A and B are shown apart, each in its own frame.
Chain A
């Protein structure tokens, strides 16, 4: 499987990854509507954390030991056997936030309007995740994880 790696020394915290993520998950696929009009408001699956000169574009890492899967109260989170990604069954998710509490990155986002958690699926229907594709500074890299090569 591939993952998104961050090259934090060239990340300038412009936030375009968040913008494109939100756009990608909007229904209108229109930037102005996605930010101002669409209800429920589409949410970015990733987050840019900043402190001083450090900025980090953070998203689900699809961890090997994914604590969110074990902690999920309803069984909505699981690992997709074909892609190895951590996926959420939105039908069964109640948006309780237990996944957010156990995630080392605190990344599971709660869509409070829909009462669901939303998460990164590495844009399965795109060749390259939109955050990577639209990073102006090439601070996001999309590459195969090592295990898959060996």
Chain B
């Protein structure tokens, strides 16, 4: 209920439009009633053989109502749908606004497919609320009220009878339908989610399923799941049909009841009989708005669920936010970490424990250690993806929390192992780093990054996720971005780890060349050409175990030396003699 109310409050700016839609809806149904009533009036009156002029009013009436009904319905639909789609477009934008500050810390536990489903499917399914749930009950209410008043002037008894049947159609039947269908909609949704998971396992894992002889079982499971869902959908269809029939039954029962009430009161002579015909038609037509009621109520279950999923995102609090008066990025950007301790939410093992280090401007630092040692956590904290619960991290002597996170990200360039490329042109992907860069600047950056061949291909599409480019080319695009960004600090987070050894060597060379004047933090577990770093920090299980230059660490005979020897033992001298 709470979710439903919240969903309706979103309508507030469009309140007048929604009211207009309901009013036109009322006028549409009114015209329908008018058409039948005036036609009934014409034949009833005509059967009494009045002068021709007496029918004139009725004849005009049928024409007007006949045309009005169609035109009004068109207008009602256009107004309600265009309002709804405006609301949905706004919701999508809100969703983006809400999700943007959440990345990446708060989105860690959401899959992108799930988020996409929320932003596209869930929002689309809310269409139902705005076009079918809010206005129809209102229209039904207006129509009923009008009918009671009109009928009441003729016969109170008939009016009360109609009220009774309208209440049954408007409240009892929807309640019955909802009770009968309880759980089917959400059951269908659950089964659909299961089916989606099964489908992904099927499509992505066919190879494994075949190799392990599990394909028939998996197919059977999917088929069984589908059958279960179809059974529920069939149940739903039965309920739908039942509702339609019940409303039809009520409509005809109302006709019988009102006839029974009115016929005995009919005077033996006179024109009152005309009303009998007219009222019968009016009663029949007045049930039209009730037909759509239960269908919309039934979908409410789905809509509220969709709403809940949306609010889950809209209500999440971002991990980091800019302070009210952010400090400007200092010229002397010495980075100092003191007693950094960090645990990812939900984990029980600390990722970092009392880490302290200093990076002076212009220095090249390497952070090494086995995977899972907490190397990348240092980056995430520095880039302000996460807040610091304990310890201190400062740039140029100012606590990192004093800066606007965007300011920090502009001044620290990060190249990670997987460069994300948007499904746009190469130019667009480069402009991310410097939106106002000229084509010449882009070409220079590409050339310096070793992608000289791309300078004439700026408008080429990179494909979904940059699939048209090789891993090496993607990392080089990342290098070109760093060049364009002109950030004083560069972090290389396993920047070449995903490349094959040959490409890796080439890319590493380019990187070393372009970082010469910058402060550099390189995170790696491949210990290669370590002499080029001013200092090496060795991380093990979240703690710093050693720190120093390559030579110092080699002399120490500790973890570093062990790692280094392990990695270099795979090339015994014999190879070199052979080659």
The answer to whether A and B interact is: no
